[in-house]
């Protein structure tokens, strides 16, 4: 019930216009109280996650570990963007709060996209944007991704990063 309530809040929060990131300071280190669902990645999603890690390693950064529950949270945002017909960072703070509660994230950020047809073109677009590139190169430890298509076949992407 609590998760469904969080999803309702997620669907009606304010519109954010830029790449999102947040850092939680003073977070208690208690056991997470939210249960997040697991997510099964497609080959397309795994290819993009691998490309992100290859890009990070080529820049001297650590490779990130996939957490399927992060991808589940990302998938709920894809559903939201598809329902609105627009790529957005709406409700990022709600997703960040879920990752703090459910996974113990001490910081989080996300990249979103829509309309790209290949993992390589999506990564190239993120690298061409200073704010998205900063998220790609951030001080993260884990990540998750969901890619979903609307009825017309337009792909929506939500890539979420956390530091634990």
Residue 69 within a domain:
yes
**41 neighbors 148 (Cβ within 8 angstroms):** no
Q: What is d(CA 27, CA 106) in angstroms, rounded to the nearest whole number? A: 7
Mean pLDDT score across all residues of the chain: 85
Backbone angles phi, psi at 19, to 5 degrees: -60, 145
Q: Residue 20: inside a domain, yes or no?
A: no
Domain membership of residue 5 (yes or no) is no
Q: What does the DSSP 8-state code read for residue 57?
A: H
| Per-residue model confidence as pLDDT tens digits over 98-133 | 999 999 999 999 999 999 999 999 999 999 999 999
CATH number, domain of 130, equals: 3.40.33.10
Query: What total of structural domains would you count in the chain?
Result: 1
- The Cα 112–Cα 123 span in angstroms is 11
21: pLDDT strictly greater than 80: no
Give the per-residue pLDDT at 44. Answer: 98
The rounded distance, in Å, linking the Cα atoms of 73 and 54 is 23
CB 99 within 8 A of CB 108: yes
Q: Is residue 102 part of a domain?
A: yes
In a domain, 2, yes or no: no
Mean pLDDT of 86-96: 97
Residue 94 inside a domain? The answer is yes
pTM: 0.80
Say if 28 falls within a structural domain: no
Q: 85: buried, middle or exposed (CB in 10 Å: 19+, 13-18, 0-12)?
A: exposed
| Residue 56 lies in domain | 43-163
Least confident of 9-18, 23-32, 68-77, 86-95: 9-18
Specify burial of residue 34 (Cβ count, 10 A radius: 0-12, 13-18, 19+).
Answer: middle
Report the 10 Å Cβ neighbour count for 73.
28
Provide the phi-psi class of 85: left if phi over 0, else alpha when psi is between -120 and 50, else beta: left
In 3D space, the residue among 16, 6, 20 whose CA is nearest the CA of residue 98 turns out to be 6
Flag whether 58 is in a domain.
Answer: yes
Question: Tokens 């703090």, residue?
Answer: 100
């Amino acid at each position: 019930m609590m998760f469904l309530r969080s999803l309702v809040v997620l669907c009606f929060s304010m519109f954010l216009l830029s790449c999102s990131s947040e850092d939680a300071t003073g977070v208690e280190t208690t056991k997470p109280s939210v249960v997040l669902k697991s997510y099964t990645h497609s080959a397309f999603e795994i290819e993009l996650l691998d490309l992100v890690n290859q890009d990070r390693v080529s820049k001297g950064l650590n490779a990130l570990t996939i957490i399927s529950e992060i991808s589940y949270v990302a998938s709920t945002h894809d559903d939201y963007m598809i329902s609105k017909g627009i790529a957005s960072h709406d409700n990022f703070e709600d997703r960040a709060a879920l990752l703090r509660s459910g996974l113990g994230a001490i910081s989080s950020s996300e990249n979103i996209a829509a309309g790209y047809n290949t993992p390589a073109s999506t990564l190239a677009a993120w690298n061409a944007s200073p704010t998205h590139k900063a998220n790609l190169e951030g001080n993260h430890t884990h990540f998750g991704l969901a890619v979903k298509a609307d009825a017309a076949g337009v792909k929506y992407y939500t890539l979420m990063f956390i530091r634990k």
